[in-house]
Amino acid sequence: MTGVERELPQFESKKEVTSIPLEFEPYGTLFVVFRKGMQKALAGGRNGVNANFPKLTQTQELTGPWTVQFDPQWFYPTNSLSGDQSRGLIVFEKLEDWNQRPEPAVKYFSGSATYHNVFNLQPPLLGQRLYLDLGEVRETARVQLNGEDLGVIWCPPWRVEITGAAKPGENSLEIEVVNLWPNRLMGDKKLPAEQRRTHTRMFVGWLNNDQLPSGLLSPVTIQTAQ
């Protein structure tokens, strides 16, 4: 997925059999390359810096409020909203599923929305390997920290390394989330025909089912590698 290569220092070769401790995320896949000449594992304990999969420790939770900018082109109906809200700018005091919000424009939104948060990073954390864990995302997320694009996340683990982008003191975080379109289709079914903006010729019996979870669903945290 990323093309990143790294050493797996923990392994054991015995009687022409090599054993390697591996850890997989749900539906995860790894390519393991065996090189000639590597007969001994590198020094380091299971949880040390030379572990195949270093353990991560949560050090900080990024709390609200979160300012969320929904794509104004697909943010409707807005007849009950005013000011910035009518332009798709909503403040979330805490992270929650879009379809649990009281605003129909959020509840039935499908498309792109960008979360904004400013947080302070404590100096003792700098100098360590730092990660931003998004918890659970529905469905994809692009992360930018202090203007640096850290890439797109679309599967577990919902995590990116922020070591090089983080700085002491104030940090500016943007997370652009895109969900699927069934929620908008369900919302349009509730509107008069002339107000609907999505159309499909597909058989969509699932439109009578519950809405799909959308957005950032879990606490966003800073983690360090142990």
pLDDT in tens, the chain (226 residues): 777 788 888 888 888 888 999 998 888 888 998 877 666 655 444 444 568 888 899 999 999 899 999 999 999 999 999 999 999 999 999 999 999 999 999 999 999 999 999 999 877 777 788 999 999 999 999 999 999 999 999 998 999 999 999 998 999 999 999 999 999 999 998 999 999 999 887 755 666 668 899 999 999 999 998 6
pTM of the model: 0.88
Report the share of the chain in percent with pLDDT over 90: 63
Q: What DSSP string describes 104-143?
A: HHHHT--SEEEEEEEEEE-GGGTTS-EEEE---EESEEEE
**Tens digit of each residue's pLDDT (9 = 90 or more) over 20-55:** 999 988 888 889 988 776 666 554 444 445 688 888
* C-alpha closest to that of 223 among 65, 55, 27: 55
Q: Which residues contact 26 (CB under 8 A, 6 or more apart)?
A: 156
Alpha-carbon gap, residue 8 to 16, rounded angstroms:
18
